[in-house]
Every structure is written in C-alpha cells, then in structure tokens.
Amino acid sequence: MPSLWQLVTTFKGRSFEPAQAERPVSDSSRDEERELVERAKRDPHQFAALYDRHFQQIYRFVYSRVREQTAAEDVTSEVFMKALKAMPRYQDTGRPFAAWLYQIAVNAIADRYRTLRPAQPLDDFHDLSVAGPALEDVAARRDEVRRIWALVEALPHQQRTALVLKFQEDMKIEDIAVVMGKSAGAVKLLIHRGVTRLRDEADTLRPVE
C-alpha cells in the first residue's frame, strides 16, 4: 500500500504541479524584476508589467484567505491600486517585489476581516482530485489531505497566513517576516504552533505505511 507521502507526491506530480512562477527566482529574473520596478517608479504606466507578472499569485493568495470571489476581487483591486500609488515611494530592500504586494494584501485582508472570519465552508477542497491513474484508496487519502487543509482553515489567523505563505506560496521565512511585520523567529514560531496544532487535532491522520 502506498504511503501517504507517495500519494501526496503523486498528487503533486499529476495535478498540483507548481506553476513556473513558483520556482525559485533566478538572479536574471530578479534583475529583470528590479528593472521593471525601477521603470514603474519613474513612469506609472510601466506598472502594467508588474501587474501582469504578479496578478495571479496575489489573487490566488487573497482568494485563499477570503474564499469568496467578489471579496477576493475587491481586495485584489485594493492591493494593486495601493501599490500603484505607493510605487514612487517603494524602496528595494533586496526582497522580492511580490513580498511587498503580499504585505499590502495581508494588511488589506486584516482590515477587511478584522472581526469577521471567512464564512465560506471548505467545500472548495473537493477539487483536490487526482487526475492520475486510479488507485484503490485515492479517495480516502484525498479525504485526509482535505481534512488537513480544513484544519488549517480553522487555525488562528496569523498561523494560517504563515502556513499558506510558507507552504503554498513557497516564500522564505525572512520574506514572510517582512510581509507579516514580524521577526523571522516569530514567523517560525507561528509555523511551529500551526503545524503542532494540526498534529494535535489530527489524531486520525496517522501515516499509512
């Protein structure tokens, strides 16, 4: 019987393959981004290139937090509009430009949902389907994966944000720290607490070897 790991990695290979944009950014790509940023600072029209480059990841991140299309559209609009207006004041600190956008997004979401919790149930995770060859117990394993993500959704807001930025957006701890306005140590603590809480609440999710 395949282990959960094997199934999960099968999932990744078959249907959850990371997009190219999520690959580690090469030096040349970073240089290209710096150039785009410099241009946009000089001429707001050039912001279009940054928008095209980062729209998808920011929208995806925002949606993962608010889980409702209209709200995701509102927040995404706010993020890019704020970024455009603040562009002349943007300082390159060596972090990816996206980290700044995530930071604006995190703040915008916090402002919007300061008192509310996203209400959308986790039915969206039914899309965690497997397109690969049929395996006997794929459905059961898929349920487990879905339940882990369901537990993530129930985590405190900051733990959830840290986990999503780390594990879904593949960001470095230091960049997440900038985004969340915390120290790297504090981010690690959030991740540790988040994963520990998942472990404590997921007694039924033992590995199947």
Structure tokens at 187: 């981010």
Q: Is 48 near other proteins (CB under 8 A)?
A: yes
- Work out whether 82 is an interface residue with other proteins (CB under 8 A): no
Element at 17 (helix H, strand E): none
Residue owning tokens 């990841």: 57
Between residues 106 and 145, which has the closer beta carbon with respect to other proteins?
A: 145
Q: Are 164 and 65 in contact (CB under 8 A)?
A: yes
H or E element: which one contains 127? none
> Is residue 81 close enough to count as binding other proteins by CB under 8 A?
yes
Indicate which single residue of 36, 71, 75, 80 sits in contact with other proteins (rule: CB under 8 A).
Answer: 80
Residue from 89, 91, 114, 207 binding other proteins (CB under 8 A): 207
Nearer to other proteins, 98 or 198 (CB): 198
Question: Is 127 exposed, middle or buried, given 0-12, 13-18 or 19+ CB atoms closer than 10 A?
Answer: exposed
Residue partners of 173: CB distance under 8 A and separation at least 6:
166, 184, 187, 188
Residues in contact with other proteins, counted by CB under 8 A, come to a total of 68
> Judging by beta carbons within 10 Å of its beta carbon (0-12, 13-18, 19+), is residue 124 exposed, middle or buried?
middle
One residue of 21, 31, 34, 69 binding other proteins per CB under 8 A: 69
Determine if 41 is a binding residue for other proteins (CB under 8 A): no
Is 16 near other proteins (CB under 8 A)? yes
> Which chain residues interact with other proteins by CB under 8 A?
3-6, 8-18, 23-24, 26-28, 43-45, 47-48, 51-52, 55, 59-60, 63-64, 69, 72-73, 76-77, 80-81, 84-85, 124-125, 127-128, 145, 148-149, 152, 163, 166-168, 170, 172-173, 188-189, 191-192, 195-196, 198-199, 202, 205, 207, 209
